[in-house]
């Protein structure tokens, strides 16, 4: 499920702000605090353990603070001169997502147990999933083919029209120019999106999270999500416009908000 890809220069200006909706506030500009009640980051050989994973390594250990964080970032090209203590992003790289993620509130529940690199180092992760030649050399993620739908045994995307009804709740990580929605509260690892999906640009939407209520019947293209970005996928995605469902005609989530089909809840 593809979120809108923010450019690094714009993303670097954003501040991640807390809100009552998300639980306790988390300052994105502050250095990571191991063992913090609001957010936890743990330097490991694989990078950083997501908050809420319930791992004992979340407790601080001698000699692991600054050197551990830098060790996890070694090998990035270009080098991460702005480390996590100087940037809201892990290793100073917006592609790797925010250094700190919430452990409470709606988003905290969604990212609970999320291991952003799936056992890889940051360098290995970017080598596998980032295409520096895409988008006229600006680079982009290597998203799964066929709009991110999982395939059946014959290799055909599993997708079909589905009508969402009034009162249903849906959400997404990414701005409203995108086409992808999920059932509200679906786990982050089920969505088939990279760690940068958690980067906030608009301070009104911490962690880039948008929640909506459906107000009238609307047809979407629904199907299971393919594994991607070292995550299992297997969640359900609602695509507002897909070639696999010609009957879906709305090109973006923003269009559904504009015509009143979706109402913002945060």
pLDDT at 146 over 70: yes
pLDDT tens readout for residues 151-192: 999 999 999 999 999 999 999 999 999 999 999 999 999 999
| pLDDT-wise least confident of 23-27, 115-119, 122-126, 165-169 | 23-27
Catalytically annotated residue among 172, 179, 191, 250:
172
The dihedral over CA atoms of 178, 184, 190, 196, expressed in degrees to the nearest 10, equals 50
Concerning whether 231 is annotated as a catalytic residue, the answer is no
Task: Give the alpha-carbon dihedral of 12, 14, 15, 16, to 10 degrees.
Answer: -100
Cβ–Cβ under 8 Å, residues 49 and 112:
no
pLDDT tens track for 227-262:
999 999 999 999 999 999 998 877 899 999 999 999
**pLDDT per residue as tens digits for the range 36-91:** 334 433 333 333 333 333 333 322 333 334 555 566 787 776 554 444 456 789 98
* 61 is known as an active-site residue: no
- In Å, what is the CA distance from 194 to each residue of 7, 95, 116, 126, 174? 14, 8, 8, 10, 11
Instruction: Read off the pLDDT of residues 192-215 as tens digits, 9 standing for 90 and up.
Output: 999 999 999 899 999 999 999 999
Q: Coil, strand or helix: which one is 150?
A: coil
Round to whole Å and give the CA distance between 175 and 199.
11
Instruction: Identify the active-site residue in 179, 191, 237, 250.
Output: 237
């Amino acid at each position: 499920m593809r979120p809108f890809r923010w450019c690094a220069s714009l993303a670097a200006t954003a501040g991640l702000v807390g809100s009552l909706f998300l639980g306790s506030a988390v300052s994105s500009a502050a250095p990571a605090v191991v063992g913090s009640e609001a957010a936890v980051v743990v330097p490991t050989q694989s990078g950083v353990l997501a908050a809420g994973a319930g791992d004992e390594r979340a407790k601080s250990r001698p000699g692991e603070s600054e050197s551990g964080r830098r060790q996890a970032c070694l090998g990035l090209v270009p080098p991460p001169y702005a480390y996590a203590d100087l940037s809201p992003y892990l290793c100073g790289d917006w592609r790797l997502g925010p250094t700190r993620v919430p452990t409470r509130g709606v988003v905290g529940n969604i990212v609970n147990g999320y291991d952003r690199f799936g056992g890889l180092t940051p360098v290995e992760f970017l080598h596998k999933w980032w295409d520096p030649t895409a988008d006229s050399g600006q680079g982009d993620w290597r998203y799964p083919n066929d709009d991110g739908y999982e395939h059946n045994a014959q290799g055909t995307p599993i997708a079909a029209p589905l009508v969402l009804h009034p009162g249903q709740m849906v959400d997404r990580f990414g701005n409203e120019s995108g086409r992808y929605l999920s059932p509200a509260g679906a786990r982050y690892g089920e969505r088939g999106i990279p760690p940068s999906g958690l980067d906030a640009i608009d301070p009104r939407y911490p962690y880039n999270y948008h929640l909506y209520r459906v107000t009238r019947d609307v047809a979407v293209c629904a199907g299971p999500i393919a594994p991607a970005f070292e995550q299992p996928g297997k969640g359900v995605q609602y695509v507002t416009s897909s070639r696999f469902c010609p009957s879906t005609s709305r090109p973006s989530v923003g269009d559904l908000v504009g015509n009143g089909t979706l109402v913002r809840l945060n």
